[in-house]
């Protein structure tokens, strides 16, 4: 299941974070990072998924 979340995180980083933690601080932070730059959003999403 983590592999699917990581693949979704590469395509849509907030979606991968949402599937892992739901709507919370990490989700909103990831949306902000994705808006500021696509790569920081991907890095944050993969980090959230790998950490849990």
| Stated pTM of the model | 0.89
DSSP assignment of 1-52? -HHHHHHHHHH-HHHHHHHHH-SSHHHHHHHHHHHH-HHHHHHHHHHHHHH-
- Tens digit of pLDDT for each residue in 1-52? 778 888 989 999 999 999 999 999 999 999 999 999 999 999 999 999 998 7
Domain that holds residue 47: 2-51
Domain count, the chain: 1
Burial class (CB in 10 A: 0-12, 13-18, 19+), 51: exposed
């Amino acid at each position: 299941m983590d592999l699917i979340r990581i693949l979704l995180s590469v395509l849509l980083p907030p979606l991968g974070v949402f599937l892992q933690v739901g709507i919370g601080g990490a989700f909103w932070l990831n949306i902000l990072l994705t808006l500021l730059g696509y790569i920081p959003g991907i890095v944050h999403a993969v980090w959230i998924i790998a950490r849990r």
